[in-house]
A and B are shown apart, each in its own frame.
Chain A
């Protein structure tokens, strides 16, 4: 999949930028003295290391064809779902439903992607799983807080499996005139969302003063939101040549992805605040996977469908 020239050029540019950023980060880490500035540099360097790992994983995934990416994202879904259900108070009666979620629905979603059965891929979770799981829970026979439990399991499944699976689904998009653009689109999405996350967090710490959701978290501020959206939109716009988008389309798609990512992070803070101090030792001592990928979870399906709608399918006929 890495064979076409454009993808190589695209990857080369991205790795180049990353290398420059890492060198700058390393130099800063040595020269900066003030405690606050060191903290800021540390945030950036931690993120940069994560990006190297992600780039390596992606590169391997793409070299092995789409299958590698499907496995990587499948595992991501698994770990994310594991974390999500862990902090969700489920009851004994949900055990069998959860078994289905982990060992049947999750693998099936990615299997459908691998065999490119789009029709079922797109409805497996929201139609079949959403109806099946409450039925299975009802058969287990515990009426206590039934709706709440059903909703929790459904939402976990939606976010951790359905949404995440739309990122590798980009690889399967066959855009007329842009063969093989899927890999670059996936990179584009991940980069824009990550840059937004980084700039948002960086500016929050650096000069954030007005939190936009103080009841959820003091950390997320308007300054960070604006800076994140601006920088990541600029970044995505510059990368337009690697995508099927025109300059203005690339800008619009980057802004959309950035804002959705910010929304996802906000959901993360809401979940965290809700679960805080409820005696879940596990969550406190675990390095959260959710924190790192939730913005991508939320952005992926919308990004996928927008791209698909404008470049591949157009308005679908009902019959």
Chain B
């Protein structure tokens, strides 16, 4: 990270917290630099920024968000933000022209991108939702958990960001929001894909309920 990138890192983290007025809650979970996957509900463009900004600086610098290639690779500015500042891993979404094979390749690319020390931020719903409902999860989260044995998966629930900047709006309204980090899950030895994905989704919903 160069000096300029570092400056932008601090500026962005600060902006993210100011715009969203976020109150962070760690529920039976401590911030840690160990390798983790943070998975969250997704309702606003601000999600990625706010989740990333809510992590302590040392954790933040080791954490790479997975971002949709079709969106973040579109303009030079987005590409700069994604690659230099967020240090994102760009992945292809199937419904945006990727194939099943490329989806599986994305999992491999992501695992390679994490190495043995980086953590990951993913939004398993795959796209931003309107309203409060947490949508169905895609199965990438299971494949990732399977590929990196023993990794901790931390559920994250973000509230109110869809009111600050709803899908399709350009100007944010400066309301307050909150972000909750829940107790980490690990993939059980014989747990099926369906069971694990359901358990992960329920963990996010439970955080939203209180």
Chain A interface residues (CB < 8 Å from chain B) = 78, 82-83, 85-86, 90, 92, 95, 98-99, 102-103, 279-282, 285-286
Contacts and interface: CB of A to CB of B under 8 A. Distances in A.
A86 B169 contact: no
Contacts of A86: 21, 160, 175-177
Given A99-B173, A282-B178, 7 more contacts: A95-B173, A98-B173, A99-B171, A281-B25, A281-B210, A282-B159, A282-B177
Contacts of A90: 163
Given A86-B176, A90-B163, A282 B210 contact: no
B113 interface: no
Contacts, number: 48
Interface of B: 21, 23, 25, 130, 159-160, 163, 166, 169, 171, 173-178, 180, 208-210
A95 B176 contact: no
Contacts of B208: 279, 281
Contact of B174 (A82, A282, A285): A82
B166 to A, nearest CB: 6
Interface of A is mostly: helix
Contact of A95 (B21, B25, B169, B178): B169
Contacts of A95: 163, 166, 169, 173
A82 B176 contact: yes
Contact of A281 (B21, B159, B166, B171): B159
Contacts of A85: 173, 175
A136 to B, nearest CB: 13
A285 B25 contact: yes
Contacts of B209: 279
Contacts of B25: 281, 285
Given A82-B21, A92-B130, A279-B210, A286 B176 contact: yes
A281 B173 contact: no
Contacts of B166: 92, 95
B21 A285 contact: no
Contacts of A78: 174
A102 B159 contact: no
Nearest to A78: B174
A282 B174 CA distance: 14
